[in-house]
Amino acid sequence: MHDMTAHAAAHHAPPQGFIRKYVFSVDHKVIGIQYTALGLVSAFIGMALSWAMRIHLAWPTASIPFLGTLSPNGAPGGVPTPEYYLSLMTMHGTIMAFFLLTAAPMAGFGNFMLPIHVGAADMAFPRLNMASFWVTFVGFVLACATFFIPDGPPLSGWTAYAPLSAVGAVAGPGQGWGQNLWGLSIALFCVASLLGALNFIVTTIDLRTKGMTLSRLPLATWAWFINAWVSLLAFAVLLPTCLLLVLDRLGGTSFFIPGGLVINDKMLPHSGGSPLLFQHLFWFFGHPEVYIIILPAFGIVAHVMPTFTRKPLVGGWKVITYAMAAIGGLSFVVWGHHMFVSGMSPYMAMVFSVPTLIITIPSVIAVLVFAFSLYGANMRFTTPMLFCLGFISLFISGGIGGFFLAQPAVDSYLHATSFVVGHFHFTMGLSAVFAAFAGFYYWFPKMWGRMMNETLGKIHFWLSFVLVYCVFMTLHLMGLTGSVRRYSQFVADFMVPLTPTNRFITIAALLLGATQFIFFYNVIWSRFKGPKAADNPWQATTLEWDTTSPPPFDNFGGRQMTVYHGPMEYDGDAFVMQTSTEKSIAGT
Amino acid sequence: MSQSELTMSTGHEVLMESSPYGMEKKKLGMWIFIVSDACTFATFLFGYGYMRVGSQNWGTPFEFSSILNGIIMTFVLLSSSLSMLAAVRATQAGQKASANKWLGLTMLLGTVFAILHLREWFKMIGEGWRLFYNPLGGAAQFGACFFSVTGLHLTHVISGVIALAFIARGYNQGRYDSSHVETAGLYWHFVDLVWMFVFPLMYLMNAAR
């Protein structure tokens, strides 16, 4: 028996005042925009770090602007030391993987769109939602703060492998307070992600409006919902892993530090710990994490594509949703494929290789659904559609590399080469970024009430698309020649002939970065000068296009939304909104 | 009343799809939290198991007095689950006095558990146990595992007592109703259930033999 007053407590009126409205807001739309903005800032910082790395790789003696000022010790005269190169790499990985790729497609677009998609006025727990953004923000500030402490950021990579990450300042610059701040930052990020996941799940289950059955959920919302479950279980493991790491560092325990370790001529007072335990715990989170990054990308593409192919996806909502659910479930049993050469039993490598190959089946099904859905489509080549096509291309190219890496025998050769770097940048990096761009161009009119410039968008797409291939396909080839990742310079004899290739990648990467300024310019220009957006500029069917652009505080202006159709009612130029009482034209 | 009649936060009546589990949002939220928290405890226990299996000189230090203390703690915590159940029943029946009595007893039992546990901790610390030191000469990991696993559980118990105090106050002031007490009860039973893993794994498996 529930009391009505209990629910009345959750009501909130439109807030007054700048701070309650735009800063500490409980409105899911503001929080979604805050997350998206955080993602853009992270993208810029992460990108700048990658430029510094690339310049150093191609011209090892070149002085890099600003770097000498940022860290006189780490980069005397602007030339990074090998240790500082690793610090740049660590922070590039941390900021990109957590604060851009995990946060933006899920917490950014998801927060803004999920309640509208299901026809609710807000998330189930608005205050928790606000807390999760601000905890993420503090985590972000702590991560960035590592640049400004004397020792600089940690150098143990975004995976923070023990014992390097666990033994403390003795292990090198940044391994003192830099690594402590990193651990704290990621622990906070875990807490925020857990709160966010809880909110997403409860909102999707409990706040659906009349007629919004599970089979009528928009596919982006399906993806966010499945992804929330994966986040819930994965971050609940990373959080205690961070705590154990901090205990090793500050509490003197030896969970991850083996006995008899001598570092810089110092015998460490630890014994009996296991670096493999850290890898198991980290990758039990880490592998689901890459699917946490890519599932919202699948969802956004599945949501955006039917609008522009003007037909439902092949297999309706079921095939793609079941594929995403299968990926989510299987993602928890494949983590050992990151550890083929870690010293784990080779038999275990065999055991993990099999589910790794099995998880390619739903992944391939999902991508083939997208590819086959292009057949017979009345395609509208808008910018979001182009980015969807780019996503399909990148995910297939990156995914093919996955077949090689999933075999323990082949992986022994390719492990820790730039083949892996190219592979994961294609699959979880750029695929997710392209899907996020698709979502951004698609939802921008709804989020800000103005259209983005299509010409600039198309230039942005084509330049990005070609340059991404120049950078990361070439990295695959470099990896095949034996080029090792995490080396700051390629001065060994066998690497010297690769210097021109390295320079090619660097130039392409710098141009790729420059291309993003077209996007930044387009965002700023369109935000203030773009043509006003209609309520439904793309002739789409889902609930977010059934309200004003941008939506009012309660999303639908007090209207009762009742849903009669699935989200993919398209047939050429004809379409039926989800809330329309007209007859179905696509049979969904 | 059924779920579909619930109002939404716009202040006007909105018809909704019924929840597949017929459960209102904060109770569902608590269940989801429990799923996630269970993973966190499982990680700690997995780490403990990994350390224990990988160790060649794992000590089993708990004498009968410690085991007896653990049994009393278990009895106290299990009883508190029973009193929590009675408190939920009483709030659902609208019996405020009875609900307060049972909520008070639950908090009391939780506090007794925490005191017994802290007494055990201080006794061990007095004997020289540390996160990184085993005074009996066995694996140093024993202290690390014991203090971190039971510490996490103890944190949950103490937060639970504090949360119950807030819930009880809100209930008495009329801000909270039986559903809030029930949701807090879910958490309390979960913490109790975790102890049913911690006690055998941490105490019984380490009884001196």
Q: What is the mean pLDDT of residues A397-411?
A: 92
Looking at residue A493, what is its pLDDT?
80
Dist CA A93 CA A489 (whole Å):
19
Residue of A nearest to B23 (CA): A206
* Distance separating alpha carbons of residues A125 and B26, to the nearest angstrom: 8
Is the CB of A232 less than 8 angstroms away from the CB of B35? yes
Peptide bond connecting A500 to the previous residue in cis, omega within 30 degrees of 0: no
Confidence of residue A588 (pLDDT cuts 50, 70, 90): low
Residue A178 is part of a domain; what is its CATH number? 1.20.210.10
- Kindly write down the DSSP assignment for every residue of A289-340, as one continuous string: HHHHHHHHHHHHHHHHHHHHHTSPPTTHHHHHHHHHHHHHHHGGG-GGGG-T
A232 close to B (CB below 8 A): yes
Average pLDDT of chain A to the nearest whole number: 93
Mean pLDDT of the A452-460 span: 97
pLDDT at A492: 76
Contact between residue B126 and residue B180 where contact means Cβ atoms under 8 Å apart: no
Which of B6, B15, B92 is opposite residue A7, by nearest beta carbon?
B6
Q: At residue A441, does pLDDT exceed 80?
A: yes
User: Nearest by CB to A124, which of B20, B25, B177?
Assistant: B25
Q: Which residues of A are less than 8 Å from B176 in CB distance?
A: 6
Which residues, 6 or more positions from A18, have their beta carbon under 8 angstroms from its beta carbon? Answer: none
**B9 pLDDT more than 50:** no
What pLDDT score does B11 carry?
39
The nearest CA of chain B is from the CA of A579 a distance in Å of 14
Q: Is A81 on the interface with B (CB under 8 A)?
A: no
Contacts of B183 in chain A (CB under 8 A): none
**Calpha distance B187→B193 (Å, rounded):** 10
Nearest to B145 by CA among A240, A284, A190: A240
Q: CB-based contact (8 Å) between A286 and chain B?
A: no
CA distance A553 to A551: 7
**Domain assignment of residue A397, yes or no:** yes
The answer as to whether A588 is a domain residue is no
* A202: contact with B, CB 8 A cutoff: yes
Q: Name which of A29, A167, A206, A278 to mutate to probe chain B: the one with the most chain B Cβ atoms within 10 A of its Cβ.
A: A206
- Distance, in Å, from the CA atom of B206 to the CA atom of B209, rounded to the nearest integer, reads 9
Going by pLDDT thresholds of 50, 70 and 90, the confidence category of residue B12 is: very low
Query: A23-33 pLDDT, tens per residue?
Result: 899 999 999 99
* pLDDT score for A19: 85
Among A430, A194, A113, CA closest to A293:
A430
Distance from CA of A531 to the nearest CA of B (A): 31
Tally the domains of chain A.
1
Contact call for A274 and B54, based on CB within 8 A: yes
Please report whether residue A269 resides in a domain: no
Q: What is the pLDDT of residue A12?
A: 56
The partner residue sitting opposite A281, judged by closest CB among B11, B21, B43, is: B43
Residue A257 backbone class (left: φ over 0; alpha: ψ -120 to 50; beta: rest): beta
| Tens-digit pLDDT profile for residues A420-432 | 999 999 999 999 9
Q: How many other C-beta atoms lie within 10 A of the C-beta of residue A4?
A: 11
- Token pair for A550: 């941008």
* Residue A370 · residue A412 · CB < 8 Å: no
Phi first, then psi: what are they for A575, rounded to 5°? -155, 155
Contact A251 B131 (CB under 8 A): yes
Question: In chain B, which residues have their Cβ closer than 8 Å to the Cβ of A255?
Answer: 47, 51, 141, 144
CB contact under 8 A, B16 and A208: yes
If you average pLDDT over residues A294-311, what whole number do you get? 96
Whether residue A5 lies within 8 A of chain B, CB to CB, comes out as yes
Mean pLDDT, range A290-298, rounded to an integer: 96
B127-138 tens-digit pLDDT: 999 999 999 988
Taking the Cβ of residue A242 and every Cβ of chain B, the question of whether any pair is shorter than 8 Å is answered with: no
What's the pLDDT score for residue A489?
A: 85
The pLDDT confidence band at residue B10, using thresholds 50, 70 and 90, is: very low
Half-sphere exposure of A139 (CA within 13 A, CB side): 26
For residue B170, list chain A residues with Cβ-Cβ distance below 8 A.
none
Nearest chain A residue to B138, by CA: A272
Question: Among residues of chain A, what percentage have pLDDT more than 90?
Answer: 86
Domain residues for A52? 23-257+275-575
Out of A2, A206, A213, closest to residue B179 by CB: A2
Amino acid A266: pLDDT? 87
- Helix ranges, A449-587 (H): 454-480, 499-529
Tell me if chain B has a CB within 8 Å of the CB of A343. Answer: no
Size of interface A-B (CB pairs under 8 A): 166
pLDDT score of B2 more than 50: no
The answer to whether position A207 is within a domain reads yes
Give me the residue from A207, A213, A252 closest to B132, CB to CB: A252
Compare CB distances from A232 to B24, B32, B176 and report the shortest one's residue: B32
Residue A16 dihedral angles phi and psi, to the nearest 5°: -110, 150
* pLDDT at residue B6 is higher than 50: no
Please report, rounded to a whole number, the percentage of residues in chain A having pLDDT higher than 70: 98
**Residue A100 and residue A191 in contact, taking contact as beta carbons nearer than 8 Å:** no
pLDDT at A179 over 90: yes
- For residue A262, is it within any domain? no
Please name the residues in contact with A291: beta carbons below 8 A apart, sequence gap of 6 or more: A227, A230, A327, A328, A331
Chain B residues within 8 A of A198 when measuring between CB atoms:
29, 32-33, 36
Determine whether the interchain pair A213/B17 forms a contact, defined as Cβ–Cβ distance below 8 Å.
yes
Residue of B nearest to A216 (CA): B17
The pLDDT assigned to B63 comes to: 93
Identify the burial level of A16 via C-beta atoms within 10 angstroms of its C-beta, where 0-12 means exposed, 13-18 middle and 19 or more buried: exposed
Q: Which of A205, A212, A278 to mutate to test the interface with B (most CBs of B within 10 A)?
A: A205
Interface contact A202-B92, CB threshold 8 A: no
Enumerate the H helices of A314-407 as residue ranges.
316-330, 346-372, 383-405
What does R_g of chain A's alpha carbons equal in angstroms?
A: 24
From chain A, the residues in CB contact with B28 under 8 A are 201-202, 205-206
A65 is a domain residue: yes
Write down the ipTM of this complex: 0.92
| pLDDT attached to residue A496 | 85
Q: Do A120 and B8 touch (CB under 8 A)?
A: yes
Answer whether A122 touches B (CB < 8 Å).
yes
A332 CB within 8 Å of a chain B CB: no
Instruction: Answer with the residue of higher pLDDT: A173 or A221.
Output: A221
Average pLDDT value for residue range A513-528:
96
Give the nearest partner residue to B144 out of A208, A247, A281, using CB atoms. A247
- Output the CATH code of domain B24-53+61-206: 1.20.120.80
Residues A138 and A188 sit within 8 Å (Cβ to Cβ):
yes
Instruction: Supply φ then ψ for residue A558, to 5 degrees.
Output: 80, 5
A14 within some domain: no
Q: What is the pLDDT of residues A108-167, one digit of tens each?
A: 999 999 999 999 999 999 999 999 999 999 999 999 999 999 889 999 999 999 999 999
> pLDDT tens for residues B156-184?
999 999 999 999 999 999 999 999 999 99
Residue A236 to residue B140, Cβ atoms within 8 A: no
Q: Among all residues of chain A, which has the CA nearest to that of B133?
A: A253
Residue carrying structure tokens 């118990």: B157
Judged by CB atoms closer than 8 Å, whether chains meet at B19 and A212 is answered as: no
Residue pair A225/A296 in contact by the 8 Å Cβ criterion: no
Higher pLDDT, A23 or B72: B72
Tell whether A24 lies on the interface with B, counting CB pairs under 8 A.
no
Tell me the pLDDT band of B14, cut-offs 50, 70 and 90.
Answer: low
Distance, in Å, from the CA atom of B110 to the CA atom of B97, rounded to the nearest integer, reads 20
